[in-house]
């Protein structure tokens, strides 16, 4: 149930962000506010509390929005969440919004795990190859993992491309055991 509600809020915010042609700014500002909200226990408790006055919450949201230079869309969205008692759902809504926006804009997220740190040129080349393969714009996150021995593992959505030496050795072992 909570997931469905988060998706509804995320879809509504995506509608507004795209209509205003401010998708990137809204995505960045919502992520920044969500991080601040999640890391500041006092703020989280205050905004989630039904005992705190609506006007006091509005003033705090306005002050934070001004200090963080948040897009008015994000400020208004946070106020809507407070008004409807949904602030505890903010992290889930932010995550759903990110996915919804990427889906609407034809962006696929990729996680690339490589045995060594890739150079900027290699990252760019790999991202371009993934874009050609998927037909979508790729938003990639890169990290290293020495346990791979060599090569890399790429996950785009539910598809995994495993070109690691570890995986190749596992396949070779299975072939030898089968013979």
pLDDT in tens, 57-116: 999 999 999 999 999 999 999 999 999 999 999 999 999 999 999 999 988 888 999 888
**How many CB atoms within 10 Å of residue 128?**
11
- pLDDT for the residue 162: 81
- pLDDT for the residue 167: 78
CATH topology of domain 2-103: Peroxidase; domain 1 (1.10.520)
Please name the residues in contact with 144: beta carbons below 8 A apart, sequence gap of 6 or more: 113, 114, 115, 116, 117
Quick one: pLDDT band at residue 1, thresholds 50, 70, 90? low
> CA 96 to CA 93: how far, in whole Å?
5
CATH topology of domain 107-178: Glutaredoxin (3.40.30)
**Contact 34/98 with Cβ under 8 angstroms?**
no
pLDDT in tens, 23-67: 999 999 999 999 999 999 998 999 999 898 999 999 999 999 999
Q: Kindly list the domain boundaries of the chain, sorted by start residue.
A: 2-103, 107-178
């Amino acid at each position: 149930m909570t997931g469905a509600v988060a998706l509804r809020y995320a879809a509504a915010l995506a509608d507004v962000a795209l209509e205003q042609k401010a998708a990137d700014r809204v995505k960045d500002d919502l992520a920044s506010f969500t991080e601040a909200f999640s890391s500041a226990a006092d703020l989280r408790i205050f905004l989630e509390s039904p005992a705190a006055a609506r006007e006091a919450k509005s003033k705090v949201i306005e002050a934070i929005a001004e200090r963080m230079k948040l897009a008015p869309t994000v400020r208004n969205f946070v106020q809507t969440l407070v008004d409807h008692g949904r602030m505890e759902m903010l992290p889930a809504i932010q995550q759903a919004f990110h996915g919804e926006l990427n889906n609407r804009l034809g962006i696929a997220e990729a996680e690339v795990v490589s045995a060594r740190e890739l150079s900027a040129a290699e990252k760019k080349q790999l991202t371009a190859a993934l874009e050609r393969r998927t037909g979508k714009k790729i938003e990639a996150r890169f990290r290293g993992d020495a346990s791979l021995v060599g090569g890399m593992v790429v996950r785009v959505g539910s598809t995994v491309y495993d070109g690691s030496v570890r995986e190749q050795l596992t396949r070779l072992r299975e072939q030898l055991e089968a013979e």
